Structure 1
Amino acid sequence: MYPPDETTTQPILPPPCQDCPLSKPRPPRIPLHLPNARPMVAKRKFTSDAIEQVVQRVTAVMADRDLAALFRNCYPNTLDTTVAWFHDDHANDYKRPRSFIVTGDIPAMWIRDSTQQLLPYLPFAPLDYDLQNLILGAIKVQATYLAYNPYANAFRMPPDGPKPVHHQTHGDRVVPPYDPSIVWEAKYELDSLAAFFKLSTEYVRITKDSIRLIQDKEWLQAVHRVLDLIEEQMRGTWEEPRRSKEKEPHYSLVNTTSLKGVPLGEGYRFLRTTDIPTETLGQDGLGGVVKRCGLVKSAFRPSDDATTMPFLIPANAMISVALQDLAMLFEQVSYKDPLAVLPILAERCRSLGLTIREAVFRHGVVQHPKYGQVFAYEVDGFGGQMLMDDANIPSLLSLPLLGFISKRDPLYLNTRKYVLSDDNPWFFRGSQIEGVGGPHVGRDMVWPMSAMVRARTATTADEVLDALEMLKRTTAGTGLMHESVNKNNATDFTRSWFSWANGLFGETILEVLEEWPEVIETIQPAD
């Protein structure tokens, strides 16, 4: 990951209590007897021997059998249930695999969600070539979508896949216009673009398989299109578009039929007839008014809710890291590029990434009367700021997981104290769980995702265990994670099938085992 800029952050303090043992007195655990919630083997969508071995190895050393059951159910959930289509391209020497990953109970592929669903498996991809091809196939399909329309966030089955899933269209007014047979949802979210870059760079970093990615013309085309969009969305609201509609080229997608990319030169507008304010944008679809300052606008948050001030700081932090990582990828593989395009792309990515990073610290850091310097959630470039956090990743709480800042940096620690307090309007504390929610679901609804991020950014073993105990209590006996849970009533939840949260739980357990093994209370597996 791209390291923090020492010129813009305070010195990192020694780890507070990093090696502290569990110190709080705790009552005896009452077994929940969580069920086996995995589908029968014959009904699983994709099986990876490498992942099955991880499940067996990890659950064998977990003393808490309910926690083990959760890991067994949640970690493979994406593979078990959401691989709607996988074409390994065996006939073409595996050069261009293709995968379609749905979110769970919504039969569409979100760029952000599909990235987060597959990232937990990447460390083990070199051990399983089918799994590696599945992940590469998802990147290739993401590229197909973003080369067509980088403003859209969710898509239907691609043209070369099985028969697409249809649903009733919303009748939105969207600029640029799109084909509803391809796009499921046309909400422009900056973090979706960062997710595409992140999955691509992490794939190459872990598997060392750069050739099948950088030699894919459609993937490179998608990268160019995303960079064009980022530069377009750095404009202030009242600035003229960077080029007129007549000069905007259309991009023909490679290896697909009759798909031409939507034009980007008109900017972006989104209007929907709705009684929910976060489902549409003001100013005739332009959204909140901003001033150019080096940040990138995001019309919607990772929750799919409209931003209030379009310079969304967590998304800008995420894209700045993703651009720096992409620049390093292009530099490392540039010797394989006979046309010398990659060094130019590397410089473009690095320049954009540095500009955005510097703007985050210049405009996104504010002085709080109680917590000192903290990151704002949204700003407008005019001096306006919104102090809050939302559970969806990227969030302020998740900044260390994005590679943007150390979890022991004083600026992050201040921000974290604010986010996990009653001063954050979307922090809720109840008898079942405490954590961050958001406007998407509303009052008193905590997202288990926030407890997972809390565990992964904690600096004491006690806080890690507290987060895991809360997560166990909030499955309502299903043995799976949900989108949100009522702070006082675990049976009041949203989305019984939410693959991203399940995978994130599995990833959390693996990280806790690595950093805080005493929390899991390891025991020797039975002979």
Structure 2
Amino acid sequence: MIDRRTLLGSGLAWAATPALAGTTPDFTSKRPAPADRRFVSKAVEREIARVSRQIADPKLRWMFGNCYPNTLDTTVKMGVADGKPDAFVITGDIDALWLRDSSAQVRPYLHLAKDDADLRRLYHGLIARQARCILLDPYANAFLEDPNARTKLSWALADKTDMKPGVAERKWEIDSLCYPIRLAHDYWKATGDVTPFDAQWADSTRAILRTFREQQRKHSPGPYRFLRSSDRPTETLMLDGYGAPTRPIGLIHSGFRPSDDACVYPFLIPANYFAVTALRELAALAMAARSDAALANEAMSLAGEIAAALREYGTMRLRDGREVIAYEVDGFGNAIFMDDANVPSLSSLAYLRCFDRNDPLWQRTAVAAWSDANPYWSSGKVVEGIGGPHVGLGHIWPMSLIMRAFSQDHDPRMLRNILRMLSNSDANTGFIHEAVDQDNPATFTRDWFAWANGLFGELLVHLAATQPKLLEEML
């Protein structure tokens, strides 16, 4: 299989399916045959049946049945390590585990784990695997199944960075360390189970704290640098691999955004907000699971420091005078307003529990992000939403529509419009893609993107609970 980055570099990134455009799918399940599914949960199968009964629209129902179990069906590799469960969860069409993606991919099943031993085994295995990955290299974003192997990802072979065995790619992204904390915290909240939070897990959280402190860069640039030869400037960092200059103000530097694109200014504000929330959640979990006051206090202290810096440096004014949350800043007074579809984004901060969705500052920011104040928002003949530089202008990520639906789930009219656009964005494949052409969604990237599929399923489960009438009446 040609990897996505090679496709991007060759100019062949877009999968076009013109024969499907304007046709009607037959709604035959696109799931693997039962014998070929990598992981099976009876609780998930019951949930598919339960929610499907509430979805009147046949295409949405078909897409939900394909998308919701996609992570379990196609990406989970279960094993044993040190006598305990081990779960390696690939991102889809790339055979590697992203800390961000794997955490988000299994999130839609958390509410079922308390009563399903098989799911608890999956979460135990993934939490343990992520802890080992973080201890191997807290600056890496993606990892290999074999911790002794060298990366085979063609785009990462010649990277100038401290590449270790077991690492697939080494792009430093703040959210790569926030997502495992969020997964651990929410698993504990959903189940009350503290089994996964052993000494190894605690060591990995201390590595997270140490890395966040290093990347505040108060006294030195720290140990991380990254250079890549590419015809795309978003693939590498300036100034010998350290990124653009900053003034140390207490925020955490990020080399790359969750899109894997390089930051323009290294203080990525949505990721810093996510770090504050995740650190506070880590403190609660450290006390509940391990009675570790030292770990909890350190996490809370760092969260407070970052939060104070965000209050002072994390906002800006648009040309019309509106105060909004900035996307990136440098501490010298320079700031960028934009939004990228990848999570964490400005639009996703309510979903991530960083802001109450009724907070006036976040509301103003979300409205501006979903408008031409954001250079990566666009509206086409079929879909409107947010994209990003990763794929290019005029290409919308369905993920951005899903984030908008989660944060505006009190507005049935908006939800209907979003669900229609999501239904029209799949090119009749039955799955959610990375990005689609705003005028012709039959042109898209990534036909196997498990995070987006799971996020769509998570939304439908959420709406079945909060807006059942909408799903029952929408045709």
In the alignment, which of 252, 272, 275 is matched to residue 296 of structure 1? Answer: 252
Question: Is the partner of 2:196 in helix, strand or coil?
Answer: helix
The answer to whether the Cα contact below 8 Å between 2:54 and 2:464 also exists between their aligned partners in 1 is no
Preserved contact between residue 97 and residue 143 of structure 2 (Cα < 8 Å): yes
- 1:84-140 deviation line (CA, Å, top 9, x unaligned): x21267x95xxx211000000000000000000011111101121111111121111
Alignment of 1:50-69 (within 5 A): 50-69=43-62
After TM superposition, the structure 1 = structure 2 runs for residues 433-448 of structure 1, keeping only pairs within 5 Å, are 433-448=383-398
Query: Using the alignment, how far apart are the partners of 2:404 and 2:80 within structure 1?
Result: 37
Give runs of aligned pairs for residues 76-95 of structure 1, distance below 5 A: 76-83=69-76, 85-87=77-79, 92=83
Provide Cα deviations, 1:438-477, integer angstroms capped at 9, x if missing partner.
0000011000000101111114111111111000001001
What amino acid does structure 2 have at the position aligned with 1:494? T
Provide the rounded CA distance (Å) in 1 between the counterparts of 2:321 and 2:157.
43
- Within the candidate set 122, 139, 142, 2:130 is matched to 142
Residue 441 of structure 2 aligns to a residue in which SS? strand
Work out the CA distance in 2 between the residues paired with 1:332 and 1:184.
Answer: 33
Distance 1:371 1:204 in 2: 43
**Offset at 1:334?**
4.1
User: Are 2:289 and 1:333 aligned?
Assistant: yes
Q: CA deviation at 1:371?
A: 6.3
Which residue in 1 is equivalent to 2:119?
A: 131
Q: Is the 8 A contact 1:371 1:417 kept in 2?
A: no
Aligned partner of 2:279 among 316, 323, 331? 323
CA distance in 1, matches of 2:469, 2:239: 53
Three-state SS of the structure 2 residue aligned to 1:477 is coil
Contact 2:96 2:168 in 1 (8 A): yes
Counterpart position of 1:231: 213
Matches within 5 A, 1:110-125: 110-125=98-113
1:478: how far off? Answer: 0.3
Following the alignment from structure 1 to structure 2, what is the Cα–Cα distance between the partners of residues 151 and 377? 22
Q: Are the structure 2 counterparts of residues 206 and 71 from structure 1 closer, same or farther at C-alpha, using a change threshold of 3 Å?
A: same
Contact 2:147 2:167 in 1 (8 A): no
- Residue 159 (structure 2) aligned to one of 150, 172, 175: 172
| 2:331 aligns with one of 376, 381, 389 | 381
SS of aligned partner of 1:197: helix
1:280-295 alignment runs, 5 A limit = 280-295=236-251
Residue range with higher mean Cα deviation, 450-459 or 474-483: 450-459
| Pairing 1:284-433 to 2, within 5 Å after superposition | 284-335=240-291, 342-370=292-320, 372-433=322-383
Matched-pair contact (CA < 8 Å) for 1:105–1:497: yes
Determine the structure 2 residue equivalent to 1:247: none
Residues 464-499 of structure 1: CA deviation (Å, up to 9, x unaligned) = 111110000010010000000000001110000000
Classify the secondary structure of the residue corresponding to 2:226: strand
Cα deviation, 1:399-447, whole Å, max 9, x if unaligned, reads 0011111111111110011000012100010011000000000011000
Range with bigger deviation, 506-515 or 68-77: 506-515
Structure 1 equivalent of residue 10 of structure 2: none
- SS for the counterpart of 2:364 is helix
In structure 2, give the amino acid aligned to 1:79.
L
Task: Give, as a single letter, the amino acid of the residue that structure 1 aligns with 2:207.
Answer: R
CA distance, structure 2, for counterparts of residue 464 and residue 361 of structure 1: 32
CA distance in 2, matches of 1:213, 1:416: 36
Query: Is the 8 Å Cα contact of residues 35 and 477 (structure 1) preserved in structure 2?
Result: no
SS state at 2:300 partner: helix
Secondary structure, counterpart of 1:213 in structure 2: coil
Corresponding position of 1:471: 422
Normalising by structure 2, we get a TM-score of 0.91
Does the Cα contact within 8 Å between 1:456 and 1:464 map onto a contact in 2? no
Question: Is the Cα contact below 8 Å between 2:151 and 2:157 reproduced in 1?
Answer: no
In structure 2, what is the Cα distance between the partners aligned to 1:441 and 1:42?
Answer: 36
Partner of 2:433: 482
Report the CA distance between 1:292 and its aligned residue: 1.2
State whether residues 197 and 290 of structure 2, in contact with CA within 8 Å, keep that contact through their aligned partners in structure 1: no
Shift of residue 225, structure 1, vs aligned partner: 1.0
Length-normalised TM-score, structure 1: 0.82
Identify which of 191, 198, 203 aligns with 2:182.
198
CA contact (8 A) 1:157 1:165 kept: no
Structure whose alpha-carbon radius of gyration is higher: 1
Q: Which residue in the other structure is 2:197 paired with? A: 214
Per-residue deviation, 1:34: 4.0
**Shift in Å at residue 522 of structure 1?**
5.6
Identity across matched positions, percent: 41
Give yes or no for contact 1:157–1:164 (8 Å, CA) kept in 2. no
Q: Aligned partner of 1:121: which letter?
A: Y
Aligned residues: 450
Report if the CA contact (8 A) 1:391-1:450 is conserved. yes
5+ unaligned residues in a row in structure 1: which ranges? 1-29, 242-265, 336-341
Cα separation, 2, equivalents of 1:371 and 1:73 = 45
Write the distance in 2 (CA, Å) between the matches of 1:59 and 1:371.
46
Pick the aligned partner of 2:407 from 445, 449, 457. 457
Matching residue's letter, 1:213: P
- Residue 234 of structure 1 aligns to a residue in which SS? coil
**Do the aligned residues in 1 keep the contact of 2:110 with 2:187 (CA within 8 Å)?**
yes
Deviation of 1:200 after TM superposition, in Å, equals 1.1
The amino acid across from 2:163 in the alignment is: Y
Q: Give the residue type in structure 2 aligned to 1:240.
A: S
Q: CA deviation at 1:31?
A: 6.9
Q: CA deviation at 1:32?
A: 5.6
TM superposition shift of 1:167: 4.0
Aligned to 1:259: none
Structure 1 residues 487 and 267, CA, compared in 2 at 3 Å: closer, same or farther?
same
**449, 458, 475: which is aligned to 1:507?**
458
Equivalence map 1:145-160=2 (5 Å): 145-159=133-147
Q: Secondary structure at the match of 1:490?
A: coil
Q: Distance in 2 between matches of 1:508 and 1:328?
A: 27
CA RMSD between the two structures: 1.8
Change over 3 Å in CA distance of 1:164–1:157 after alignment to 2: farther
Gaps of 5+ in 2: 1-22
| More off after superposition, 506-515 vs 392-401 | 506-515
Instruction: Report the counterpart of residue 186 of structure 1 in structure 2.
Output: 170
Distance 2:163 2:193 in 1: 33
The question of whether the paired residues in 2 share the 8 Å contact of 1:197 and 1:326 is answered with yes
Residues 151 and 166, structure 2, Cα contact 8 Å, conserved in 1: no
What is the letter of the counterpart of residue 182 of structure 1?
G
Higher share of residues assigned helix: 2
Whichever residue aligns with residue 122 of structure 2, its letter is L
Specify the alignment match of 2:3 in structure 1: none
Amino acid at match of 2:260: D
